[in-house]
């Protein structure tokens, strides 16, 4: 698949998790079940696998490739597979990209390396993405990091350069702040209108959808896919009353998962919710992460009950 006809990269994608055994190894059956369950929901067009919610920074190269293989073998052609590439080295990122494409991914999402939080030049960002493009002509999604992530949150100058690279088809806009989201969306659409701007920032999905989006790649859809899809549809139909009602269910869950400190435990909270809902055998995360205590699990349980999911 090449980076033509790029407007098709819209809709709601689930940013999936990666089930783990107690020893930290991947639960392959649990992962396959996770994929099969989620692709069955109407309106889900695909997955973002090996993203932050999938603990990509804690998986080795072979494990990341295996996740792609399992995704491809389970969902086949029922949805689009976008594979996250999160490497500090551009050379390593090239290898992971080749793995992802050969294992069955339809597109890749290039995450800014964590070291960029401290220092980044526009030239560095362009070189990193260009080197990845050198080993694959498949579509590339950019990741616009949150305003609290230092220089990982691309400046307007850097974003302007990246969206003009030939293979770039979409941006997961994760600024986590609605005014910055609108600034970046307006910038992107002015320079390259064909780029899909995908909303992130689960607490304010409704705001982003109303400002304008081509969809979302969102980890909250692992728990409430129907509500996320329905919110998007309601906004597109200008059905404000329905959109507000869906937002009332989405917002409390988003706040308790992403708005609770430390925010780095969002994946553990998602897994705990899936376990409470009977969709996951355990809530294990890979070290140095750890499982939640019973107090926090009780909070999650109460929110799931309040929004009538549990």
Q: What pLDDT shows up at residue 4?
A: 45
Say yes or no to pLDDT of 304 above 60. yes
Summarize pLDDT for 19-30 with one digit per residue, the tens: 999 999 999 999
Q: Which residue has the tokens 């055998």?
A: 281
User: What pLDDT is stored for residue 263 in this prediction?
Assistant: 82
Q: What is the per-residue pLDDT for 264?
A: 84
CATH number, domain 7-238, options 3.30.230.70, 3.40.50.1820, 3.30.2230.10, 3.20.20.70: 3.20.20.70
Say what the pLDDT of residue 3 is. 42
Copy the structure tokens of residue 117.
């939080």
In angstroms, the CA 225 to CA 211 distance is 21
What percent of the chain stands above pLDDT 90?
A: 93
As a whole number, mean pLDDT of residues 236-262 equals: 95
Q: What pLDDT is attached to residue 1?
A: 35
Contacts of 76 (CB under 8 A, 6+ apart): none
Instruction: For residue 85, give the H/E element and its range.
Output: strand 80-85
Lowest mean pLDDT among 2-6, 86-90, 114-118, 249-253: 2-6
Task: Give the pair of three-digit tokens for residue 247.
Answer: 């937002």
How far is Cα 260 from Cα 306, in angstroms, rounded to an integer? 17
Residue with the larger pLDDT of the pair 7 and 121: 121
Greatest alpha-carbon span in the chain: 50
pTM, rounded to two decimals: 0.95
Q: How far apart are CA 124 and CA 114, in angstroms?
A: 13
| pLDDT given for residue 202 in this prediction | 82
Q: Specify the pLDDT at position 9.
A: 86
- pLDDT, tens digit (0-9, with 9 covering 90-100), for 159-187: 999 999 999 999 999 999 999 999 999 99
Residue-averaged pLDDT of the chain:
95
pLDDT digits 0-9 by tens, 206-220:
999 999 999 999 999
pLDDT at 157 > cutoff 90: yes
- Average pLDDT on 232-238 reads 97
């Amino acid at each position: 698949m090449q980076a033509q006809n790029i407007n098709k990269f819209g809709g709601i994608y689930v940013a999936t998790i990666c089930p783990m055994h107690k020893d930290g190894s991947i639960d392959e059956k649990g992962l396959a079940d996770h994929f099969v369950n989620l692709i069955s929901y109407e309106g889900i067009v695909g997955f973002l696998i090996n993203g932050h919610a999938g603990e990509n920074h804690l998986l080795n190269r072979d494990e990341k490739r295996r996740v792609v293989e399992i995704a491809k073998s389970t969902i086949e052609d029922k949805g689009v597979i976008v594979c996250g590439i999160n490497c500090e080295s551009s050379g390593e990122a090239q290898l992971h990209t080749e793995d992802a494409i050969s294992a069955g991914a339809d597109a890749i999402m290039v995450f800014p390396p964590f070291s960029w939080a401290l220092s980044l030049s526009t030239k560095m960002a362009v070189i990193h993405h260009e080197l990845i493009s050198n080993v694959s002509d498949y579509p590339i999604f950019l990741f616009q990091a949150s305003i609290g992530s230092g220089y990982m949150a691309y400046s307007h100058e850097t974003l302007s350069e990246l969206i003009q690279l030939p293979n770039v088809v979409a941006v997961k806009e994760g600024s986590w702040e609605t005014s910055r989201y609108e600034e970046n969306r307006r910038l992107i659409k002015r320079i390259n209108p064909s780029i899909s701007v995908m909303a992130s920032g689960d607490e304010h999905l409704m705001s982003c959808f109303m400002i304008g989006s081509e969809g979302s790649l969102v980890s909250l859809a692992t728990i409430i896919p129907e509500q996320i899809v329905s919110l998007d549809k309601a906004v597109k139909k200008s059905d404000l009353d329905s959109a507000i009602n869906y937002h009332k269910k989405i917002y409390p869950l988003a706040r308790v998962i992403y708005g609770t400190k430390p925010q780095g435990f969002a994946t553990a909270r998602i897994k705990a919710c899936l376990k409470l809902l009977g969709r996951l055998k355990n809530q294990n995360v890979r070290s140095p992460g750890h499982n939640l205590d019973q107090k926090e699990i009780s909070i999650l349980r109460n929110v799931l009950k309040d929004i009538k999911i549990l």
